[in-house]
Amino acid sequence: MYVVLLISIFVLLIMAILCYLVLSKQTVIAFSKKVILSGILIALFLSAIFPVYQVMTRTFHTDIVTIRTIPEVNESGEIRSETALCDVKANKWTNHIVEPIEGKWAWTGEYYHWNQYISDKTGNLTKEIKIPIPIGKDRELLFVTDPFSGYVEVEYNGKIERRSLYSDQYGRAVIIIEDSAEESILYDAFQRIALITVLSVVIFCICFLLIYIIGKTPLYSYVCRFRRETEIFLLFLIKIVLYGRYPGSLDYTNSYYFMNYEGGFSSRAILGEMINRFFGPYISSNALSNIKLVCLLSFYAFLSIVLVRVARILQDQKVAVFLVELIILSPFLSIEIIDDVRVDLFINLIFIICMILINKDRFLALVPPLCALMMLNNESSCVFYIASICLMCIYLAFVKKQRTYFTCGITSFLITSLLAIYYFVLGKTGLMDPTEAYLHGILHTDSITNWAAYHAEGLSIGMHLDSASFNFGEQLYDFALLKQSFVGWLILLPYLLLIVMLWRALFIHLSLDGDKSFRIIYLILPLSGFGAVLCMIIGFDYFRFFSFVFICSLSLIVSLAYQTNTRIELRDIRLFRIDKESSNENGGYVRFPILVLLYSAVIGQLDVWTNTSPIVVRTISIIDSITR
């Protein structure tokens, strides 16, 4: 698999070099070589991303495994009838369990589940299911073992293996499935390599041809005139393409679209309520996919317009582009992608509207209600957005010397604090019962809904903040979350370096000016975030948001300070001291931001907190192998 990847990367690199050589001979491109180069880079990434996704996540062929549950009656007459299939592993990768092709078990969001109670209640569960598993080697089926489980029988290739899943404690039982036939593995690998090659060539050719045709037409000069906008738009295109599988059928995130106030007040139900009111009561999976896709594209269009307008307002275009790239890379816009436009797209939209209202000094009275709307949508991740809004209000109150901004910031803060206290007192969901909400979900759609999502929302907020959510215990055991946090920070490092570069430029500038009071403030600024940063390391779930509050606020403060200090040039933003006379080209200094940008495009998502991200898992295993 890695060989295939390396070959494809090598092929792409050669193609890029060839393209560069061909294009550099043409005089017509001398005016704007950057446009062509960025186009080539984008073509490269487009052609690399699809194959990577194809290779890493799927095999073309599957084998069928039959799983049977066999209830067990113990000495006291109790029936142990539970069987839960929680994971399928093949080729050393954890694969998402796919739906059984024959038979039906209940899907709990994490595993397929059979027990007598659910079977009697629903009447449509079968004792036997057939599931497809990817062909390959090292294949395992993982079952849950607990005090309620009976026997399970796994049949593959005519061989039957029976295993007792009974255990005093919760755990996992592994049933190893024998390897597929060599010829089918080879055939599958061959098909994947062929697909990679075809996809790479086709996508590359399309992108190359488009750029070439544009270069030959009058449109080219038009594109050159708006090359910044084009670059920004293409940048968004990368993000959209990265999520080519979108709109996904992530059942966990889909469930949130069906969580509303029908069963009582809930902390994250406003989006579900709105969608249900407009499109309900029944929303098919197709309709849901369309709604999500339209939302995503509208959001990106809106964002592109806003960012391009911001870039045009600023005097120095290079600074503008730098800022725009900083905004794009910020965790604000990354999280929305991770959550698969569950709730954070909505929050991002409201956040941008709030920022525009504040900057334009229009309809400031709308800002506190909009903040409340954000809080109703997601009580935890909205915290860092609201912190930035309040910060912006306070900043403008001092700059413009208007009390209105201050009132706006304080009321926004108060109303969200009030809501936060309300959640803390009532518990996370208050009146909503997860069972009721789940029933509502499955009745209102044919798309897969996940019981775990409703269950998570049914948990009290206290559960997220109790001692179990601190990872001190786990740290003593195997430092699991500490390692995860460390990897998270490694992934975020390039973005943080951008902020450090800005901060350094400002600090040096202030030092040269001799403004001691401001210099001390800028020195204290990074130190102020230690408490918040520690939250990421010591705790889980909510703590990561407290940590992000600091990152977002810091990037906002530094960006504002940079924007107000127009005397600072782009050449001042760098990590190390470089002799100015040796390099007079400004373009040299934007290499790092561009590298960070491309890095972000490859990583795709700043998935810094879930241990399901392959990057995090892989990096942790490397750390483990080094430390042992």
Partner 1 sequence: MRTVFDRFRNEIIIISAVLTACLIATLSLRQPYCSYSKVIQSISSDYLYPEVTNPSKYIAGIEKVEYVINHPEPAIELYEAKIDYHNLIRLSGYEGYLNSYNSYEFNVESLILSNDAHQQYIVEIFRCERPDIDFFDRRNNEKYGFFTYIPRTYIRGGRYNIGLLVNEEGKEYIQWTDAVLEVE
- 529 lies in the binding site for partner 1 (CB under 8 A): no
Binding residue for partner 1 (CB under 8 A) from 419, 498, 551, 557? 419
| Polymer length of the chain | 628
Question: Which residues, numbered 457-476, are part of the site for partner 1 (CB under 8 A)?
Answer: none
Residues in 253-282 at the binding interface with partner 1, rule: CB under 8 A: 260-265, 276, 280-282
Give yes or no for a contact between 379 and 422, defined as CB atoms under 8 angstroms apart. no
Taking CB under 8 A as the rule, which mask of x and - marks residues 179-218 in contact with partner 1? ----------------------------------------
By beta-carbon proximity to partner 1, the closer residue of 136 and 263 is 263
Task: Candidates 60-68, 175-183, 408-416, 484-492: pick the segment binding partner 1 (CB under 8 A).
Answer: 408-416
Question: 36 and 128 in contact (C-beta within 8 Å)?
Answer: no
Asked if residue 377 binds partner 1 (CB under 8 A), the reply is: no
State the number of binding residues for partner 1 (CB under 8 A): 42
In angstroms, what is the minimal distance from the CB of 264 to partner 1? 5
Question: Is the CB of 193 or the CB of 391 nearer to partner 1?
Answer: 391
Residues 121-150 that bind partner 1 (CB under 8 A): 121
Task: Write out the H or E segment, with its range, that includes residue 87.
Answer: strand 83-90
Which of residues 260 and 553 has its CB atom nearest to partner 1 in the complex? 260
Cis peptide before 281 (omega within 30 of 0): yes
Residue from 367, 382, 551, 552 touching partner 1 (CB under 8 A): that is 367
Which residue of 383, 389, 408, 601 would you call a contact of partner 1, by CB under 8 A?
408
CA distances, 104 to each of 101, 116, 125, 141, 429 (Å): 8, 13, 5, 17, 31
411, 471, 484, 547: which one binds partner 1 (CB under 8 A): 411
Q: What are phi and psi of 612, to 5 degrees?
A: -90, -15
Closest contact distance (angstroms) between CB of 230 and partner 1 is 38
Euclidean distance between CA atoms 538 and 435, whole angstroms: 32
How near is the Cβ of 408 to partner 1 at its closest, in Å? 5
Tell me the sheet residues that pair with 521: none
Q: 440 or 509: whose CB is closer to partner 1?
A: 440
Residue 103 vs 529, nearer CB to partner 1: 103
SS3 annotation, 214-244:
HHHCCHHHHHHHCHHHHHHHHHHHHHHHHCC
Please check whether residue 166 is in contact with residue 108, taking contact to mean a CB–CB distance below 8 angstroms.
no
Nearer to partner 1, 233 or 406 (CB): 406
**55, 364, 374, 608: residue in contact with partner 1 (rule CB under 8 A):** 364
Q: Specify the residue, 10 or 282, whose C-beta has the smaller distance to partner 1.
A: 282
Minimum CB distance to partner 1 smaller for 134 or for 458 = 458
d(CA 463, CA 452): 15
The one among 135, 345, 372, 481 contacting partner 1 by CB under 8 A: 372
Tokens of 463: 């559960």
Alpha-carbon torsion, ordered 186, 192, 194, 199, to 10 deg: 180
What mask of x and - would describe binding to partner 1 in positions 474 to 513, judged by CB under 8 A?
Answer: ----------------------------------------
State in angstroms the smallest separation of the CB of 443 from partner 1.
6
Cα separations in angstroms, 480 against 204, 393, 543: 41, 40, 16
User: Taking CB under 8 A as the rule, which mask of x and - marks residues 388-407 in contact with partner 1?
Assistant: ---------------xx--x
Q: Encode 302-311: b = buried (16+ Cβ within 10 Å), e = exposed.
A: ebbebbbebb
Q: Strand locations in 165-209, DSSP E?
A: 171-177
Tokens of 389: 């809004």
Give least dist CB 446 to partner 1, A.
Answer: 6
Tell me how far, at minimum, the Cβ of 427 lies from partner 1, in Å: 12
Spatial contact of 177 and 137, defined as CB atoms under 8 Å apart:
no
Nearer to partner 1 among residue 121 and residue 162 (C-beta): 121
Q: Do the bridges between strand 79-80 and strand 72-73 make them parallel or antiparallel, or are there none, so unpaired?
A: antiparallel
In angstroms, the CA 75 to CA 491 distance is 54
276/553 with CB nearer partner 1: 276
Residue 369 sits in the site that holds partner 1 (CB under 8 A): yes
Asked if 358 interacts with partner 1 (CB under 8 A), we say no
Residues 6+ apart with CB under 8 A from 30: none
Q: With binding defined as CB under 8 A, does residue 418 bind partner 1?
A: yes
3-state secondary structure of 10: helix
Work out whether 368 is an interface residue with partner 1 (CB under 8 A).
Answer: yes
Kindly tell me the sign of the dihedral angle through the C-alpha atoms of 549, 554, 559, 560. Answer: positive
Distance in Å, CB of 486 to partner 1, minimum: 39
Q: Which is nearer to partner 1, 409 or 494 (CB)?
A: 409
146: β partners: 166
Residue 99 within binding range of partner 1, rule CB under 8 A: no
367-381 burial code (b ≥16 CB/10 A, e <16): bbebbbbbbbbbbbb
φ, ψ at 124 (rounded to 5°)? -120, 15
CB of 435 to partner 1, least distance (A): 6
Binding mask 422-441 for partner 1 (x = CB under 8 A): x---x---xx-x-xx--xx-
* Residues making contact with partner 1 (CB under 8 A): 121, 260-265, 276, 280-282, 284, 364-369, 372, 376, 403-404, 407-408, 411-412, 414-415, 418-419, 422, 426, 430-431, 433, 435-436, 439-440, 443-444, 446
